Amino acid sequence: MTSNLSGTQPRQARRSNTSAVLQLLAQRGPLARADIAKELSLNHASVGRILDPLLADGIVRECARESSGIGRPRTPVELDPDGRFAIGIHLGVERTTIGLTDLTGRCVETYAEDRDPADHATTVRRAGELAAGLAARARGRVLGIGVVVGGDVDRTTGTVVRNEALGWYDVGVAEPLRRRTGLDVLVDSNARAHLNAELTFGAGQGLRSVLYLFVGNVAEIGFVNHPAPLNADNIVHGSLRRIAVPKLTRDGDARFDECGTDLILLAAARSAGLATPTLADLVRLADEHDPTAVDLLTAHSAQVAVLADTVYDLMRPNLVILGGSGAPTDRWLEVVRGQVETVPPQSLTRPRATTNPLVTASGSLVVRQFFAGQLRTW
């Protein structure tokens, strides 16, 4: 029995240390070998053994030498922006957003197109066509595809079990995309994927207990407490669609999915005579001091505050990240902070800004798995 396990522990240790190095470089940027060794409590020889194959494989690269005037110049290393890529796909209610990210979460290319939300077969087929085109144009190796969609998702089979906003029930997503592109496909819910991105690249780095509250046409949470490094299975996901929140008209309460979604918010804006086809249009009008837009977004912020207070009472996270329309700008983050009752205002924040958070969140599913050595490419 012992002979069958020979070498297993050293291999596991190397993989774990390699994952830690990649994650550290994603969080901190260029670092000298001595700094990596200090941060991860490794000796210099171990760091060298980890970095050498990563350098040879084009996953990391050396930067220009740095000299402090004391001792030998240091040569930092960083993730190679052309080393590996991930495709991210977000399937929204009316729009598909797709793009390419590098290992630091930076969007290299993005594309969005409107579609019929009820036609899931065409939606998935078209997503496969777009993904295949992105993979063909990528200037480096594509690791896989991450797909994000609201509602209940079976991550094991890559199936959308239920998304009432889309009208999708038991829709397979991973297998058609895999057949079309030949790439690994990971499918997850909005809140889990966005929290995954914040743990990997953003505001959640290094924290023990983080909750991501996604507000849009769904209201969902992703929550992790004492996260094991790079273990996505530790992220708890839940829906808040049945939570009672104040109506936009302030004449009582109703379930979030009956009075708080983005579609309902925009419909209320149009009924009030505003030309607001998108949330960004409504925010722009509010920033221009349109009283109706300000009133609607203030009422929406009160809904978000109730959702945040509810989950904070249950889970007591160190940080609550408000995504989607939860806090579309810093101004509206402050409005939510002014209306919460139990969440400490300093514990509320917005996601770290990216060029396209939908693509970054989707692509991060693949990047995080790659860092953990859980893709077949390792």
List, for residues 42-64, the tens digit of each pLDDT value. 999 999 999 999 999 999 999 98
Is the torsion defined by CA of 203, 205, 211, 216 positive or negative?
A: positive
Tokens at 310, concatenated: 């509810």
Does the pLDDT at position 332 exceed 90? yes
Looking at residue 353, its pLDDT comes to 61
Report the greatest alpha carbon distance in the chain. Answer: 76
Q: What is the C-alpha to C-alpha distance for residues 246 and 123, in angstroms, rounded to an integer?
A: 34
Tokens at 372, concatenated: 């953990």
- CA angle 44/45/50 to nearest 5° reads 95
Mean pLDDT of 316-326: 94
End-to-end CA distance of the chain: 26
Is the torsion defined by CA of 49, 64, 83, 95 positive or negative?
A: positive
Q: What is the C-alpha to C-alpha distance for residues 186 and 184, in angstroms, rounded to an integer?
A: 7
Looking at residue 67, its pLDDT comes to 60
pLDDT in tens, 64-112: 876 655 656 688 999 998 889 999 999 998 899 999 999 988 899 999 9
Mean pLDDT of 133-156: 94
Looking at residue 227, its pLDDT comes to 58
Q: What is the C-alpha to C-alpha distance for residues 218 and 152, in angstroms, rounded to an integer?
A: 11
Element (H, E) at 328: none
Nearest to 148 by CA among 119, 190, 200, 201: 190
Per-residue CA distances from 84 to 99, 144, 151, 363 (Å): 14, 10, 30, 12
Looking at residue 236, its pLDDT comes to 86
pLDDT class of 205 with cuts at 50, 70, 90: confident
Residue 280: count of CB within 10 angstroms of its CB: 11
Sort residue 289 into left (φ over 0), alpha (ψ -120 to 50) or beta: left
pTM, to two decimals:
0.83
Q: How deeply is 66 buried, as exposed, middle or buried, from its count of CB atoms within 10 A (0-12, 13-18, 19+)?
A: exposed
